[in-house]
Amino acid sequence: MNFKKKLFGGRRPCIQDLFGEDEDIPNLEEDVVIIQEGPIPKVLIHDKVEEHLAKRWRNVIVVKLMGNSIILGQLQYRLEKMWPNTQGFVVADIERDYFSVTFVSLEDVSMVLSKGPWLIGDWYIYTQKWDSTFDAKVHKVRFLIVWARLPGMPLHYYNKSFLSRIGHVLRKVIHIDHQTEAKTHGKFARLAVELDGGTFLAGLCLRSTNVATFYGLRRHLIEIANYPICKNEEEDVVYAIRDCPHAREVWSKLVPNNLQFNFFNCSLLDWMMRNLQNVGGIPGSWPVVFGVVAWKIWCWRDETVFKGVNHRIDRRMGEIAHKVRGIEEAVQHKRIMGSSKVVKMTRMLSWKPPPMDWLKLNSDGEINGDTGMASAGGVIRDSNGIWKGGFLMNIGFYSVIGAELWGLFQGLNLTWESGYKKIEAEVDNQSIVVMIFKENRPTCAHEGLVKAIKELLSRNWNVKLYYNHRECNFVVDYLAFLAATNPGGFTRLDLPPPGVRW
């Protein structure tokens, strides 16, 4: 058992653990003077009192996730994963997305401030030592520690003092990546450098990786992976959706030959405006075709980058034709129905109890937009809405459909193990129901989970599975959200957690 578990009994520390009882301040009445002038009194605090109060906060740092936002529980969870060897700390919310982190040990404060840079996903974490002048309302990030890469560097340049000298071009070198120092990174050198928080370069580090690396490459400051489809050195928007050979192959089949020179030789803004207005007079619904093709090319690019999928040109053209036809039919239908009066009805949606002697299982899964982590949750209730059981599941990196399938599987498994025999199971994604019941459908990446759910449904009990609206499923929405901060994998809930109204 490590020191932290011995100290706190395996639980997270709290502020009372770290600060203890408040100490009495000597000469308080003399050093804190209250002056009654007008409707609002003034409080004058002597420097000795200020120093006494600030002394207890010497183990506190201020952090902020730059370029994004994050909730308190998720930040605590991610920092615990990032700093597992500390003796313990407590995270508290301040203002303007700033958080305070109070450590048990002063050595841990030094480690966090000196090691860096720290990232959650693609986003840098700003860190600074807390002092009594810190005011979240007006505070500006002065310095930001980031990774700077030196791509394609000759092997004989891997010298610690030489790399430090190069890094000082940016501002200040904090440290050199130990793998770089040990010459194990044959592809690039990496330095932790401190940038002025108000500079253009620091701003680039807060944007998406794609934009930051593109402009960083132009300034020869960071490494960028070549455009993954055709290995071009630079990828900007117009290159990705128009000038890449794979994109150009699609456009060339749609744009008449006599218009292709102007089509491929204008700026991004002109290119978009000319085609959305169909200045070239291309026959048919060209603005619709143009928008669909640009969107599909970007989708195909993502499939190639993230999944390694590369569709043939005939399939791509078929997808475009299908999508354009669907849009044209929808527009035509709107024109036909436009003159008729449509009666709008408002329907109140809520959770509906199951029949007497039955139980209802609601399950859901979600992906956290900040971290990409998947989680699932579920609840079992009777015809009176009484809580009969529930669960949380922190899945890790996974897809939305996969998370919802895990939620349904764990909910059915929990219901079976609890001995219940009459169950209505509801999910808020119709695709799940289709995947379970549709015959002769294409295989999917979650075939193992689907088979496991089918096996549960085939057992000797009475189960009805159907789709219902998300608005009827708010409790498990919250449980799936709550599961993202759950440190374990699966947690059974015999009682509803705090904050749940069922």
Whether residue 432 is contained in a domain is answered as: yes
**Which pLDDT value is given to residue 126?**
87
In total, how many domains does the chain have?
A: 4
Q: Confidence band (pLDDT; 50, 70, 90) for 213?
A: very low
pLDDT at 1 over 70: no
**Do residues 117 and 180 both lie within one domain?**
no
| Count of beta carbons in the 10 Å neighbourhood of residue 313 | 11
Say if residue 10 is in the same domain as residue 94. yes
Q: Which range is least confidently modeled, 60-64, 148-152, 258-262, 417-421?
A: 148-152
Tokens of 59: 């183990």
- The percentage of the chain sitting over the pLDDT mark of 70, rounded to a whole number, equals 71
At which of 129, 164, 187 does a domain end? 129
pLDDT tens for residues 140-162? 877 777 777 666 667 677 777 77
Rounded Cα distance, 45 and 52, in Å: 11
Got the DSSP string for 412-465? HHHHHHTT--EEEEEES-HHHHHHHH-TTPPP-TTHHHHHHHHHHHTSSSEEEE
CATH code, domain carrying 95: 3.30.70.330
Residue 86 sits in the same domain as residue 191: no
Residue where one domain finishes, among candidates 96, 129, 162: 129
Amino acid at 123: W
Q: In what order do the strands lie in the sheet with 60-65?
A: 89-93, 98-103, 60-65, 123-129, 118-120
Same domain for 318 and 365:
no
Same domain, 306 and 364: no
Does residue 203 form part of some domain?
yes
| Cβ count near 130 (within 10 Å) | 18
Domain extent, residue 483, equals: 359-493
Supply the pTM of this predicted model.
Answer: 0.39
Higher-confidence position of 82 and 194: 82
Extract the tokens encoding 141.
Answer: 């990030």
* 3-class DSSP state of 136: coil
- Would the pLDDT of 465 be above 70? yes
The HSE-up count of residue 356 (CA atoms within 13 Å, CB side) is 0
Asked, for residue 342, whether it belongs to a domain, the answer is no
Which comes out higher in pLDDT, residue 273 or 440? 273
Domain check: are 94 and 14 in the same one? yes
Give me the pLDDT at residue 84, please: 87
Residue 330 in any domain: the answer is yes
Residue 420: which CATH number?
A: 3.30.420.10
Last residue of a domain, one of 104, 129, 154: 129
Based on the fold, state whether residues 434 and 378 are members of the same structural domain.
Answer: yes
Same domain as 111, residue 196 = no
Q: Are residues 162 and 253 in the same domain?
A: no
Given a cut of 80, is residue 23 above it in pLDDT?
A: no
How sure is the predictor about 223, in pLDDT bands with cuts at 50, 70 and 90? very low
pLDDT (mean) for 356-372: 85
In a domain, 452, yes or no: yes
Q: What is the mean pLDDT of residues 459-481?
A: 85
Task: Please check whether residues 205 and 94 belong to one and the same domain.
Answer: no
205 and 182 within one domain: yes
pLDDT at 415: 94
Q: Does 117 share its domain with 163?
A: no
What is the phi/psi pair of residue 462, to 5°? -110, 110
Is pLDDT at 202 greater than 80 in this prediction?
no
Return the axis-axis angle of helices 400-417 and 447-457, rounded to nearest 10°: 30
Give strand pairing partners of 3.
Answer: none
